Amino acid sequence: MTPDIFHAGLGWPIAGSLAALSFVASFITVAFGIGGGAVMLAVMAVLLPATAIIPVHGLVQLGSNAGRLAIMVRYVHRAVVPAFLIGAVIGVTLGGSMVVQLPAGAIQIGVGSFILWSVFFRPPAFLRDSAAITGVFSSFLTMFFGGTGPFVATYIKGQGLDRMTHVATHAALMTIQHLLKIVVFGLLGFVFSQWLGFVALLIAAGFFGTLVGRHALTRINERYFLRVLNVVLTLLALRLIWGGAASFIAS
């Protein structure tokens, strides 16, 4: 195995930067229950080929959430899992039947707009009431835009769980969703093999971020940090929209 397999042709500066970001993103998600996946998606959408953004992000998030689930599984609120699983199967099936090869600019604009929407608007009220509906809606959208963690987090928040149970349950539901998404993208013909070393690097970095974030779970000023996070996400989203629009203008 050559070292090049771990950067998938992107070069070590990009691969190393994304590995560091994976650590930070996992830390954010564990410490605050939300946000890390969106940060990872926004940066990947700038640095990765357009066709690889959603499936590679999904594979990284699968590993990250599975690692988080492994160390927090005893806290999972298991009652919501079966209904969400059924909804997620329906959602990824519908999304997989409709997903098309979108232009790079369209993907950047779509992801950027979706991130802005998740920062400034709350998901619909019905997502706070039904695990099955949340599974269908978020899993359908994840096939196109990837970062649907805020939708799932909104539902979990409505269950009135303590912080540890919230984070563990979110990890369980997102593991289900990303696993199903990866299966569907594989069936649609995406070649994951060329990305496995790169993804393994990011997952390993993310797992260390999970361990550190778990210890910081109750020690950080959440309100201040989330404000900063929203500013960062907004700037990244605007950068994506600008880049996508510029590509259409140039063509």
Between the CA of residue 195 and those of 9, 49, 192, what are the distances in Å?
A: 9, 12, 5
Q: What is the pLDDT of residue 69?
A: 92
Q: What is the pLDDT of residue 2?
A: 56
Beta-carbon contacts of residue 12 (< 8 Å; ≥ 6 apart)? none
Task: Extract the residue ranges of the chain whose pLDDT is less than 70.
Answer: 1-4, 8, 32-35, 99-104, 107, 123-128, 216-222, 224-226, 228-229, 233, 251
Separation of alpha carbons 92 and 53, rounded Å: 17
Check: CB of residue 85 under 8 Å from CB of residue 177. Answer: no
Separation of alpha carbons 69 and 63, rounded Å: 10
